[in-house]
Chains A and B, each alone.
Chain A
Amino acid sequence: MTRKIVSGLLGVVIALAVGALIMFFQGYEPFATYAALAQFSLGGIAPLTTTLKNAVPLVLTGLSAAIAFASGPVNLGQPGQLVFGALAATLGGLYINLPPALEIPLLMVLAILGGALWSGLAGLLRQAFDMSEFIVTLMLNMIADFFTAWVIAYPLMDHKAFSPMTPPIAQSGWMPDLGPLNSSVLVLIAAVAVMWFVFQRWRAGYEWRITGQNSLFARLGGCDVRRNFMAVMLVTGALAGLAGGLVVMGGPHRFIKGLGANYAWDGIMIAIMANNGLIETLIYGIFVAAIQTGALGMELITNVPSEIAQVLQAVLVLVIVATREYAALLFDRVAARRQASSRKERAA
C-alpha cells in the first residue's frame, strides 16, 4: 500500500517536472503556470465544484476501462459507448417529459442501456464470431462517432443553432444543482461505491478479477468465462453510457457536436495511470479533471495555450506507469538485498 502511494506520488512529481521543463523551454514560467492551474481548479468552492463536475465523465469512463482491463476484455470502446449513452439520454429527454423524480432516473437508465447496447454489440461479435474486441471496439468508436454526427445534423438537428446540435432536452431531465455542486457528482460517487462493492466484495466481481488474472484457472475453477466476458462488456459499456448521459443532463442539456471527442481516450488513460484500481481511478480521474479545468483559467492569465493540458496528460501516463514499474523493480531489489543480508547474519 505505501509502495503504491510512494511510486504514484513519485510518478506525478516527475511528470510535473517534465511538464515544467517543456514549458520552460518554450519561454513560459512553469511555477506561475502550475500555480494558475491549481488556483483555477482547486482554489475555492466554485473551481473545486467545477473540477468535480468535470471529473464525472472522466472517472466513469475510467472505471469502465479499469474494470474491463482488470477482468480480461480489452474494451477500448468507451468513446463510442459514451456517445451512444448520451444519444439515448438525449432522445429520452426530447420525447418524454415526466416530473424530475421520474425523468432523471429514466434518462440515466436510457443512457446505461445505450452504452450497454454498443458494448454488447462488440461482445456479441466476439462471442458469435471470435472477432477480437480490441479492434472491434475501436472501429465501433468511429462508427458511433459518425452515426451520432449524422443524427444531430439531420433528424434531430436544432435549426435555430449555428452548429449541429439537438434542441435542449426537457428541463425536468436536467441534473439539478445542489448549491454550487451539480448532482451528477452524487451519481458518480454512488456509481463508484456500487462498482467497488460489486468488484471487490461480490462473487461476480471476484470471478471477473480471477478471469482477468488467469482465464484458464477461472474456467477450471468453474467460472462461466463466456458469460462473465459478456457481463463485463455490458457493465463497462453501461458505465461509459452513464457518463455520456450525465454529460448531457448535467452540462449543455443537449447533444452538441464533438461531445464525445473531449473524453475520447481520457478514461482509458486514467485507468492505465490507476493500474486498473477502482479507488485509484477515482483519485486520478479527479486529478486529470483538475488539470483540464485549471487549464482553461490558466490560459486567461498566463497565455500558455490550454492545449498544454493534453500534453501534460500524455506525459503523466507515460511517466507514472514507467515509474511504477521501475519502482517495483527497485523495491524488490531492496527487499531481496535486505533478506539476503539478514540471512547472512543468521548464518554468522
Chain B
Amino acid sequence: MNILIGLITGMISGATPILLAALGGTLTFYAGIFNIAMEGMMLMAAFFAVLGSFALHSWVLGLLLAVGGAMILALIFIFFSVVLNTDEFVTGIALNLFALGSTTYLLRQIFKVKGVFTSKAIVSVPNIRIPLIDKIPFLGPILSGRNLIVYLAVLATVFCWYLVFRTRFGLRLRAAGYNSNSLDSSGVRTSRMRIVSLLLCAVFCGLAGAYLSLGYVTLFAENMTAGRGWISLAAIILVDGHPFGIALISLLFGFFDGLGLFLQSYGVSSQFTSMVPYIATLGALYVYARRNRERERNRL
C-alpha cells in the first residue's frame, strides 16, 4: 500500500515540471512558433528561484524571480525571432545554450561554487495540506500534502484549456498558428499574439523551473533540467498540443520517472533507472508514429 502511494506521489512530482513547461510550450505551439526554448527557460527559472529565495528569504519572491528569469529568455526570443525574424529553431537552440552558459557563469559569479549550490537559507515552496481531504484513507496522502506548485499545475491545465478553446484570445491565438494571414487581415496582429504567447510560456516555464529547484529538491545544480524541456516538447507533439492530453502524457512520464527511483531501491544502478523516462519518450514517439501512419492509411 505504501509502495503504491509512493509510486503515485513520485509520478505526480515527476510529472509537474514537464506538465507546466509543456503547457507553456503549447501556447506558443498554437500561436505557430516552433519554440524549443522551454529547456532554457526552465533552467533560468530554476536558478533565479534559488537566487531569490536565498537572497530575499522568501519563496514568493523566489517564484517571482523565477518567472522573471524565464521572462528574460522570452524577451530575447521575441527580439530575435519576432522582431529580427531570425530562424526560430536557431534562436531556441542559442537560448538554451545561453541559459546553460549564463546559469553556470552566475553560479560561479554569485555563489562562488561550481556544479551545485545548496544552503539552509534557501526557503522552499511549501507543501499544502488540505484539511478534510487528508483524512480520506489512501487518497488523502496522495491528494493532500503536495507542493503548492503541483496544485498550481492542475489549475494551469484547466486554465490553458479554457484560454485556448473557450475565449476570444484563444481563438486568435490558434488563428495565429493556423492561418496568420487571415488573422492579420481581420485586424489582429499575429506578431502581437505570438509575443503574448511567449510571455505566457515564460510564466509557465518559470513555475516549472521553480518547482525543480524549490520543490522537487532545494538546490540548484548545473543543467538540472536534464532534458525535461525536450521531453515536454515531445509531449506537446504527441498530443497535438491539447492541454488535457499533455496532462495525461506528463503523468505517464512522471510515472516512469518515479518508477526509475523505485527500481533504484531494488538495486538497479541509478544510471539505468535515470534512462527510463527517455526510453519512455521513445516508446511514446513510436506509438504516435504508428497511429499517424494508420490514420494516413485510412485516409487513402
CB neighbours (8 Å) of B97 from chain A are 265, 269, 310, 313-314, 317
A318 and B293 contacting across the interface, CB-CB below 8 Å: no
A139 and B282 contacting across the interface, CB-CB below 8 Å: yes
Query: Do A135 and B271 form a contact, CB below 8 Å, given A129-B290, A142-B226, A265-B96?
Result: no
- Size of A's binding interface in residues, CB under 8 A: 40
B98 and A272 contacting across the interface, CB-CB below 8 Å: no
A310 and B274 contacting across the interface, CB-CB below 8 Å: no
* Chain A residues touching B, majority SS: helix
How many Å lie between the Cα of A141 and that of B97 in the bound state? Answer: 16
Binary CB contact string for chain B from 94 to 109 against chain A (1 if under 8 A, 0 otherwise): 1111101110110111
Query: Do A130 and B289 form a contact, CB below 8 Å, given A305-B108, A318-B94?
Result: yes
Instruction: Report A123 CB to chain B, min CB distance, Å.
Output: 14
Instruction: Report B252 CB to chain A, min CB distance, Å.
Output: 15
How many Å lie between the Cα of A325 and that of B83 in the bound state? Answer: 12
Instruction: Report A311 CB to chain B, min CB distance, Å.
Output: 5
CB neighbours (8 Å) of B293 from chain A are 130
Instruction: Report A167 CB to chain B, min CB distance, Å.
Output: 19
Q: Is B127 an interface residue (CB 8 A)?
A: no
How many Å lie between the Cα of A149 and that of B271 in the bound state? Answer: 7
A135 and B281 contacting across the interface, CB-CB below 8 Å: yes
B87 and A139 contacting across the interface, CB-CB below 8 Å: no
B282 and A136 contacting across the interface, CB-CB below 8 Å: yes
Chain A residue nearest to B237 (CB atoms) is A135
A314 and B102 contacting across the interface, CB-CB below 8 Å: yes
A138 and B230 contacting across the interface, CB-CB below 8 Å: yes
Instruction: List A144-158 residues whose CB lies under 8 Å from chain B.
Output: 146-147, 149-150, 153-154
CB neighbours (8 Å) of B104 from chain A are 307, 310
B94 and A314 contacting across the interface, CB-CB below 8 Å: yes
B94 and A325 contacting across the interface, CB-CB below 8 Å: no
Instruction: Report A328 CB to chain B, min CB distance, Å.
Output: 11
CB neighbours (8 Å) of B108 from chain A are 305, 307
- Size of B's binding interface in residues, CB under 8 A: 43
Q: Is B91 an interface residue (CB 8 A)?
A: yes
CB neighbours (8 Å) of B87 from chain A are 321, 325
Q: Is A12 an interface residue (CB 8 A)?
A: no
Binary CB contact string for chain A from 118 to 144 against chain B (1 if under 8 A, 0 otherwise): 000000010001111001101111110
B109 and A317 contacting across the interface, CB-CB below 8 Å: no
Instruction: Report A156 CB to chain B, min CB distance, Å.
Output: 13
Q: Is B84 an interface residue (CB 8 A)?
A: yes
Q: Is B117 an interface residue (CB 8 A)?
A: no
B86 and A325 contacting across the interface, CB-CB below 8 Å: yes
CB neighbours (8 Å) of A138 from chain B are 227, 230
Chain A residue nearest to B87 (CB atoms) is A321
Q: Is B292 an interface residue (CB 8 A)?
A: yes
Q: Is A340 an interface residue (CB 8 A)?
A: no
Query: Do A318 and B275 form a contact, CB below 8 Å, given A130-B293, A135-B237, A136-B285?
Result: no
Instruction: Report B98 CB to chain A, min CB distance, Å.
Output: 3
A146 and B102 contacting across the interface, CB-CB below 8 Å: no
A130 and B292 contacting across the interface, CB-CB below 8 Å: yes
Q: Which 7 A-B pairs have the closest CB atoms?
A: A310-B101, A314-B98, A150-B271, A307-B105, A317-B94, A130-B289, A314-B97
- Report which B residues bind A (CB closer than 8 A): 76, 80, 84-87, 90-91, 93-98, 100-102, 104-105, 107-109, 226-227, 230, 233-234, 237, 269, 271-272, 274-275, 278-279, 281-282, 285-286, 289-290, 292-293
Other contacts beyond A131-B286, A138-B230: 7, CB < 8 A: A139-B282, A150-B272, A269-B97, A310-B105, A318-B80, A318-B86, A318-B94
Q: Sample 6 A-B pairs with CB under 8 A, ordered by A number.
A: A146-B272, A265-B100, A314-B101, A315-B98, A318-B94, A325-B84
